[in-house]
Structure 1
Amino acid sequence: MNHHSTPQAGEQKQDQAANLESIPGEIGKLRPNGNPLVAHKFGADPYALVFNNRVYLYMTSDKLEYDKDGLPQKNSYSSINRITVISSDDLINWTDHGEIRVAGPQGAATWASQSWAPAAAHRILDGKDCFFLYFANNASGIGVLSAPTPVGPWIDPIGKALITRETPGVEEVTWLFDPAVIVDDDHQAYIYFGGGIPQGKAERPDTARVMRLGDDMISVVGKAKVIQAPYMFEDSGIHKYNNSYYFTYCSNFIEGDRPDDSPPPGEIAYMTSVQPMGPWTYQGTLLQNPGHFFDIGGNNHHAIFQLSDQWYIAYHAQTLCQAMDIPEGYRSTHLNRVEHDEATGKIKKVHADYQGVDQIKCFDPYGRVSGSTIGWSSGVSTEQYLDSGEMSASDSNMISAKLQNDSWIAISKVDFESEGPTTFTATIANQGTEGTLELRLDRADGLLIGEIIVPPATESLQWMELTTNVTGAKGVQDLYIKLKSSTDSPTILLREWKFIRQNEV
């Protein structure tokens, strides 16, 4: 399970498998662009859950693989058993919630070996918020975890796969994976899944399926129904707009002539229906292959969601691994807007780009902010610590940003208000020599509004709450949190921070 209780100094143990290498310099997500969403880690096969005006993205945890000489190798996907979670309420600044330990001996679902391509859903059951995470155990079945919050702690409520080869109606499905879930207005939920191409059936694979979920969200009801999606490959998606259901998927890459009303290879295609289980009508494609926009191809995988009266598509592309000049296969999540034609219900073509989407609200610096909240960054990674204390349902793993000398985090469009703050406080642990945490405006070398001297590390991981006075921060400005040192070996963990108004001191 994914949890921790209130941490005490020296009590944490580092989750080594979750550690990420710091990517030197500003790379991948370059100011003022919004794509890829984060540049300190990879994340593929995004699925979106909107809760309390915040979007949570659940992603396959792509991790760099190395050969015996320590050189990066092409992604084999074979050892991925965790799901990465990030969230945002403004779509530019993203909080890294770390990784859900899904499969394997240390995972919530010990029966599973992998966790790919998640889907998430929310239901109120017995008066309580309940969250469900559906995942693919490679292509052999689909499991489900449950939690009381969007970020955990997660348990396996059934102790086995939810959908297997024995599930009615899935016998002919090549790949049992890539779930998508919708909870309809009447609270009935449906799960969509499947993929693959039976021999000689590129045009009509008939490997997509839809089933009802039980009221408990952890069982299936009846028999899976075929979705006759032309040139189906993988990546089921579902959303509802103006009482129409949109089933979206990635088309396959089989070469050869295709009828005019067929999806080109490797694009996100869509079908519509007035019923959640069909019948479906093919409508066209809405997003071309990433290679068309970013000069690096690969598969397409997406999720369409609504936030603040606007529709968006999350999808992945290999832009970060391309920028890092490493072998292919490592995917990063991007966002662009989606527009439906009011008159016809058709989805307008999406233009994928590095620019991304507009920030939909200013950032509030006066609440507690996780140190792993990042708009842009340079030389920053995140670190996940597992607590050895008691479980706490209200807590998730402790996630901190890890900064080294000259590294920085930038937060976009921070609203300091007309009066501005007088104080800044942060929870920090030092793993190296003394350093200075600088607060600057608009640029990494911009106006200095405050600084905190961080004492050198002690033998055990010691969290300190450090405070400094702040002057000169007013209105809406970008905030840079930067680590400086006269030596090259400071390494600090930034767990949490906030600004304080004069009348709150």
Structure 2
Amino acid sequence: MTLQLNQAIGKVPPNGNPVVANRYGADPYALVFGDRVYLYMTHDALEYDGTGAIKENTYSSINKIAVISSSDLVNWTDHGEIAVAGPEGAAKWATQSWAPAAVHKVMEGKDKFFLYFANNASGIGVLTSDSPVGPWVDPIGEALILRSTPGVEDVTWLFDPAVLVDDDGQGYIYFGGGVPEGEYAEPGTARVMMLGDDMTSVVGTAEVIPAPFMFEDAGIHKREGVYYYTYCSNFYDGERPEGSPPAGEIAYMTSDKPMGPWTYHETILKNPGHFFGVSGNNHHAIFQFHDEWYIAYHAQTLSKAQGIANGYRSTHLGRLFHNEDGSIQDVEADYKGVQQIQPLNPYQRVQAVTIGWSAGIKTEFETAAGERLVTDIDNGDWIGLSGVDFGSKGAAAFSASVISLEGGGTIELHLDDPAGLLIGKLPVPAANIPGNPMELKTEVAGVEGTRDLYLVFTGSTGTPLFKLVSWQFMQ
């Protein structure tokens, strides 16, 4: 009997985009800390009408921020969601959490992390943590920026923050958006403001950034003494002066100071509709990792592949190149993504929620395990890992931490394809009552060098098989 494998949807091997296919994630913002990139994303989640049909994303119920991280930019670890707004959130005064921005700063010799978010378009809040993945707390119990903040009284949308901690330790926050009635060419709604030393207060008066055809989505990065302010242009469908940004594209301005004055240049990333055939808003973040520059952006590629492109967005990655004169080259958005920058080490414990590609599975926090793990495992589901380095000696054994369910089943280990060379099988016993994680082990053979690895799950169809916590190879 031939196993019927479930198909990858959205992120299909060997592509790197969208970066994950087991969840949506919009408005990406990147934080580099240690040897990892953390992506913080608006937690797009499906909305349903009274008949149970999936409806257009209204964004009104989004009160969480999703977090994933990677050391190689192809395999991503799912850290779950941060409960930001609402009764169950850290910021109980807020009703929504959109378009996050995260930053790290050493304060009194300790690493501190700050997560800024938009409470719809009415204000910006901040959370703090000692770790990039939390837990997070609200240090001030109210919004950081409101319309009562000096210099922002007339800003249409108080949202979409971006944050820079400069070389001297001074913090700056960039935000704003919207178009006052008829003011498409010069909306005047982009702002920059100094942050206090504590990063949870603002100082002075917000300054206007004269961004042509501004709409939303503040971005900031610094390179070789030049500050790059980036943003999304508005969708005005009338005539635009020559040299103006086209509709819904990412444009950039530069300055030799963090608060300006600014010089407009051009656009660098067309609307997602140009590349993927499904348009929508355009949102990005630019960051440096291991001396190379990247851009994170979103598109409705996963939801399109699922047949439900109703405003549910997914994060992508692309390379960003600066020319010798400091200008930025056009970005080509695609499904291919970026090159894996280092292999995955299978000889150290790998969280099961570290995923290159997948079919069928979900992830959730499991109290019994004390961490996030892979769930909703059915017959024919699988997880793929890109560029796993087994070394010249190769692997002799494989172990996994699992929580048995009523079905039980087997973890099959395949190389280079879900139906590729089989190097081992790990039986997972059934359990009448889900218990604590158990450690199981099996021998493997025939693997060395750097290969893609697929964990294929088999068992009785229609029965929950097991939950996967972590895995590791031994030599």
Range of TM-score over shorter length: over 0.9
Please provide the CA RMSD for this pair. Answer: 1.4
AA at the equivalent of 1:201: E
What is the TM-score with the length of structure 1 in the denominator? 0.91
Matched, 1:383 2:361: no
AA at the equivalent of 2:160: D
Structure 2: which 5+ runs fail to align? Answer: 1-5
Shift of 1:403: 2.1
Residues 421 and 348 of structure 1, relative CA distance in 2, 3 Å threshold? same
User: For 2:304, what is the secondary structure of its paired residue?
Assistant: helix
Matched, 1:406 2:380: yes
1:34 counterpart residue number: 16
Shift of 1:401: 4.6
Question: What is the rounded CA distance, in whole Å, between the counterparts of 1:356 and 1:460 in structure 2?
Answer: 39
Residues 430 and 70 of structure 1, relative CA distance in 2, 3 Å threshold? farther
Question: What is the rounded CA distance, in whole Å, between the counterparts of 2:182 and 2:454 in structure 1?
Answer: 56
User: For 2:179, what is the secondary structure of its paired residue?
Assistant: coil
Shift of 1:380: 1.5
Matched, 1:349 2:369: no
Shift of 1:460: 3.8
> Residues 42-98 of structure 1: CA distance to partner in whole angstroms, max 9, x if unpaired?
000000000112110000000011122221111111100000001111111111110
Return the match for 1:212 from 168, 176, 194: 194
Return the match for 1:261 from 218, 237, 243: 243
Return the match for 1:475 from 434, 446, 449: 449
2:464 counterpart residue number: 490
Residues 460 and 403 of structure 1, relative CA distance in 2, 3 Å threshold? closer
1:373 counterpart residue number: 354
AA at the equivalent of 2:362: S
Aligned ranges 1:39-54 → 2 under 5 Å? 39-54=21-36
- Say whether the 8 Å CA contact 2:186–2:213 is kept in structure 1: yes
AA at the equivalent of 2:364: E
> Residues 2-40 of structure 1: CA distance to partner in whole angstroms, max 9, x if unpaired?
xxxxxxxxxxxxxxxxxxxxxx63111111111111111
Aligned ranges 1:103-252 → 2 under 5 Å? 103-252=85-234
User: For 2:396, what is the secondary structure of its paired residue?
Assistant: strand
Shift of 1:220: 0.8
Shift of 1:109: 0.7
1:337 counterpart residue number: 319
User: For 1:146, what is the secondary structure of its paired residue?
Assistant: strand
Residues 73 and 432 of structure 1, relative CA distance in 2, 3 Å threshold? farther
1:65 counterpart residue number: 47
What is the TM-score with the length of structure 2 in the denominator? 0.97
Shift of 1:495: 1.3
Return the match for 1:425 from 376, 379, 399: 399
Matched, 1:324 2:314: no
- Say whether the 8 Å CA contact 1:370–1:400 is kept in structure 2: no
AA at the equivalent of 2:70: S
Question: What is the rounded CA distance, in whole Å, between the counterparts of 2:360 and 2:372 in structure 1?
Answer: 20
AA at the equivalent of 2:65: I
> Residues 394-438 of structure 1: CA distance to partner in whole angstroms, max 9, x if unpaired?
x8x534354211000000010000111222121111333120011
Question: What is the rounded CA distance, in whole Å, between the counterparts of 1:432 and 1:74 in structure 2?
Answer: 37
- Say whether the 8 Å CA contact 2:404–2:434 is kept in structure 1: no
Query: % of aligned pairs identical?
Result: 61
Shift of 1:327: 4.2
- Say whether the 8 Å CA contact 2:17–2:335 is kept in structure 1: yes
- Say whether the 8 Å CA contact 1:401–1:495 is kept in structure 2: no
AA at the equivalent of 1:369: V
Question: What is the rounded CA distance, in whole Å, between the counterparts of 1:179 and 1:399 in structure 2?
Answer: 31
AA at the equivalent of 2:372: M
Return the match for 1:74 from 42, 45, 56: 56
Report 1 or 2 for greater relative contact order, CA contacts < 8 Å, sequence distance ≥ 6.
Answer: 1
Matched, 1:453 2:427: yes
- Say whether the 8 Å CA contact 1:97–1:399 is kept in structure 2: no
> Residues 105-129 of structure 1: CA distance to partner in whole angstroms, max 9, x if unpaired?
0011111110000000000111111
Residues 327 and 362 of structure 1, relative CA distance in 2, 3 Å threshold? closer
Question: What is the rounded CA distance, in whole Å, between the counterparts of 2:404 and 2:434 in structure 1?
Answer: 10
- Say whether the 8 Å CA contact 2:278–2:309 is kept in structure 1: no
Shift of 1:486: 4.0
- Say whether the 8 Å CA contact 2:368–2:435 is kept in structure 1: no
User: For 1:131, what is the secondary structure of its paired residue?
Assistant: strand
- Say whether the 8 Å CA contact 2:368–2:437 is kept in structure 1: no
Structure 1: which 5+ runs fail to align? Answer: 1-23, 389-394
Q: What count of residue pairs does the alignment treat as equivalent?
A: 470
User: For 1:211, what is the secondary structure of its paired residue?
Assistant: strand
- Say whether the 8 Å CA contact 2:162–2:220 is kept in structure 1: yes
AA at the equivalent of 1:499: F
Shift of 1:240: 0.5
2:339 counterpart residue number: 358
Shift of 1:382: 1.0
User: For 1:233, what is the secondary structure of its paired residue?
Assistant: strand
2:417 counterpart residue number: 443
> Residues 263-287 of structure 1: CA distance to partner in whole angstroms, max 9, x if unpaired?
0000000000000000000010000
- Say whether the 8 Å CA contact 1:422–1:499 is kept in structure 2: yes
Question: What is the rounded CA distance, in whole Å, between the counterparts of 2:152 and 2:87 in structure 1?
Answer: 28
